[in-house]
Amino acid sequence: MLRPFRHFQVAGAIAGFGILFAAMAQAAPTREDIDRSVGLRESWQYLTRDVAWPARWTPDGAAFTYRKTVEGGFAFETVDARTLDKSRAFDQQRLAIALGNALRRPVKPLRLPFETFDYAGDRQTIVFSLDEAGWRCTLADYRCEALVDPSRPRGFGVVRDLSAPADNHPRLSPDGRLEALVEDDNLVVRKAGGGDAVRLSSDGSAGDFYDPETIAWSPDSRRLMIYRVRPGYARHVQRVEAAPAGQGQPALRSQLYPKPGDTVDQERPVLIDVASGRHTEIDAALFPNAYQLSAPRWRPDGNSAAFDYVRRGFGQARIISVDAATGVAHAAVTEDARTFVYADRRFAQDVGPAGNEIVWASERDGWNHLYLIDGRSGRVKNRITRGDWVVRDVVRVDEKKRQVWFAASGMNAGEDPYFRHYYRIDFDGRNLIPLTPERADHVVSFSPDMTLFVDNYSRVDLPNVSELRRARDGALIAPVTKGDISRLTAAGFRAPEVFTAKGRDGKTDIWGLVVRPRNYDPARKYPVIENIYAGPHDSFVPKGFWPFGYHSGGDKVIGMQALADLGFIVVQIDGMGTANRSKAFQDVAWKNLQDSGFPDRIAWHRALAAQDPAYDISRVGIYGASAGGQSTLNALLFHGDFYKAGVAYAGCYDNRMDKISWNEQWLGWPVDGSYSAASGVDNAARLQGKLFLIVGEQDSNVDPASTMQVADALIKADKDFDLLVVPGGEHSVGRSTGPIDYVTRRQFEFFVRALQ
């Protein structure tokens, strides 16, 4: 009561009731205002109609399915590709009951917890992903079960969990006569169906074993390739769950969790002639110090086998081809990089049964493009694509027609360079055919025979439209769905603004979004809050329709509007160091994760403030999760003169504490000074501004000790900060699972106190 009373006295003394009402209109939000903003997602998310997700085709190509918004939630619909007749994909009421029984929790029919599904074989069984696990439901009797992966788990793909058994089921030879498996760490073969085993190796041991999960038969059943493995360092992260449900005492949780610099499993390919038992261990000169090898695969003609190699430190990637008769290896293609080869975006496909040609994706000219490689010499035969734009995805390589179907962005002048469009091109780089003309971001689903496709396109100001088109030339066959947002608009929704400004170099366009309060008054001054995620592995500013479009970052952007309604202007920006632009654009992050594109972001903020007097860059806050949490902390460590307050969720604040896979990709190997330079622990004494750290106690993605080590360093540096540890909370705490309302409310209240 004290605060309104003092407001009344001051306002009355100065200028009467008119100024009093103006002062009240700009007063700090109340708890009721904050609770209302926290509930915005629930209020808005079911107001759209016919906003569809990208389609999935049935195995026979006769129909396609998709999820769309309906009254009260979502419905799955099937469309006959010939007649365009629509029907429900399955009985959602029965599926909800079956899935709820399997999950042991209620499931609402119009809120099924998955976005897409595929048919398994026919239309009587569907499979989908839920909580990072596979699920299968039969539609004849409506029964659901989780799919169990029998393979041995690996810590981030590079260290096997030896406490779990390997999948050692007998691998049947192509001719059906023999089966191979491992006994006592050695490879054996026997007649199909059982019988006496014949040892094909005798030198295996627990510390140097033959891995049954890597057994690969040659097409003629004469040879085998298998990996022999020396185990890496089995680092485990230990977490205490202080308040486990249903029990009074804490519980200890353990997770295999390799970190940067740890020894990874050493895999050595071995070629074995089954009849003679002759072993050939492949010379590792072409794949030294491997970070990872792919599973071995035989070419269809049986004359060679191949595997992919990434060198530790990510400076080189190769396809290694091994001659079946001699065991001699050669590099079918090599990719070298001054900084890093982006391992997750590599693409390669053999052309022909012998692998004499390879379609290969490379950034060697500064942009991600496709090349036709001579698989015998490793030399480039010709370029397939070229230009100052980026191949984003390869959909299909047609060997017979010698054509490639692919998605790309940045090809259309004057358009958002992140918009994805689809194209077809010949192997020789001629006859480039655009298939998706609308000025929007496209996600295309091709029929199995590549004669038709469903184009799902949208923009932040255009609800999703789905159309059936002819694959030959992109010609429209028929509309499928068109999103209706009239009720959402009536509830106050307004599309965010797209804003571009020049980056640190004064030349490169930096793209972002601006979300203003729904009661925005241009005569006021608004504090600014930036929603940051600056991981080098992708770009993050939504390009599709929000808040409910596919890959739109919907939860994050609804959160931006909810936060804006409390009296802020909220923005999201893709600065340098992120992906989907040029190689140089992404390379800014190499050994430089503390950068997070801040010079570009600050230039963008200043450019918008120069145009908009309401944009108050004397009061700028920032928030983010995971790598965005690290960036949030770094904003206050390295740019505390600009950013005044930050909320950091589940951050990987010291990259030496985080998972091996993500961090060695961007900071390299061996661990060097670049890890310390980006460390929130080592730089904690530089903190300026107000900081709120939030972490889930049971975070299995980023070791939660990373947050506590920052807290320890801040205490030692005598720096004030806020800390919230959510008991039992996972990595997604406060975002998509967990006590989201409580955590979000705490974030909103923090920014109100810190910036208003």
Q: How many CA atoms lie within 13 A of 425 on its CB side?
A: 22
447 φ/ψ angles, rounded to the nearest 5 degrees: -65, 155
pLDDT of residue 604: 98
CA distance 118 to 54: 12
Residues 644-696 have pLDDT tens digits of 999 999 999 999 999 999 999 999 999 999 999 999 999 999 999 999 999 99
Residue located via tokens 């365009």: 84
SS3 call for 79: strand
Angle between helices 740-755 and 31-38 in degrees, nearest 10: 130
Sign of CA dihedral 231, 232, 233, 237: negative
Which residues neighbour 750 within 8 Å (Cβ) at sequence distance 6 or greater? 645, 647, 690, 692, 722
Q: Is 551 left (phi over 0), alpha (psi -120 to 50) or beta?
A: left
**Ordered structural domains, the chain, with CATH:** 1-32 (no CATH), 56-149 (no CATH), 496-755 (3.40.50.1820)
Residue located via tokens 């498996």: 181
Task: Report the 3 state secondary structure along 492-505.
Answer: CCCCCEEEEEECCC
On whether the CB atoms of residues 651 and 630 are closer than 8 A, the answer is yes
pLDDT of residue 134: 96
| Tokens representing residue 365 in the block | 């000219």
Among candidate residues 702, 683, 514, the one with its CA nearest the CA of residue 615: 514
On whether the CB atoms of residues 110 and 154 are closer than 8 A, the answer is no
Question: Dihedral (C-alpha) 117, 119, 125, 127: value to the nearest 10 degrees?
Answer: -40
Residues 577-592 have pLDDT tens digits of 999 999 999 999 999 9
User: 415-422 — which CB contacts under 8 Å span 24+ positions?
Assistant: 415/439, 416/441, 416/498, 416/511, 416/543, 417/389, 417/509, 417/511, 417/581, 418/511, 418/539, 418/541, 418/543, 418/574, 418/580, 419/543, 420/392, 420/393, 420/543, 422/395, 422/453, 422/455
452 φ/ψ angles, rounded to the nearest 5 degrees: -135, 160
Q: What is the pTM of this model?
A: 0.94
Max distance between CA atoms of the chain, in angstroms, equals 103
pLDDT of residue 556: 59
Among candidate residues 392, 405, 407, the one with its CA nearest the CA of residue 472: 405
Give 56: exposed, middle or buried? Use CB within 10 Å, 0-12, 13-18, 19+: buried
Residue located via tokens 């499928």: 480
Among candidate residues 566, 631, 572, 560, the one with its CA nearest the CA of residue 598: 631
Alpha helix stretches (DSSP H) within 334-438: none
Quick count: other Cβ atoms within 10 Å of Cβ 1? 5
Cβ-count burial 675-697 (b if 16+ within 10 Å, e if not): bebbbbbbbbeebbbbbbbbbbb
By DSSP bridging, strand 690-696 and strand 643-649 are: parallel
Of all residues in the chain, the percent with pLDDT exceeding 90 is 90
pLDDT averages per 10-residue partition of the chain, 756 residues: 28 31 58 89 88 96 96 96 97 98 97 95 93 94 96 98 98 98 98 95 97 98 98 98 91 98 98 96 98 98 98 98 98 98 95 97 98 98 98 98 98 97 98 98 98 97 97 98 95 95 98 96 98 97 70 57 96 98 98 98 98 98 97 98 98 98 98 98 98 97 98 98 96 60 93 96
pLDDT of residue 741: 85
Q: How many CA atoms lie within 13 A of 384 on its CB side?
A: 28
> DSSP readout, 97-153?
HHHHHHHTS---GGG-S-S--EESSSTTEEEEEETTEEEEEETTTTEEEEPP--SPP
Full strand arrangement of the beta sheet holding 348-351? 348-351, 357-362, 369-374, 380-383
pLDDT of residue 734: 52
Give 740: exposed, middle or buried? Use CB within 10 Å, 0-12, 13-18, 19+: middle
Q: Is 577 left (phi over 0), alpha (psi -120 to 50) or beta?
A: left
pLDDT of residue 670: 98
| Tokens representing residue 332 in the block | 């079918």
CA distance 214 to 227: 6
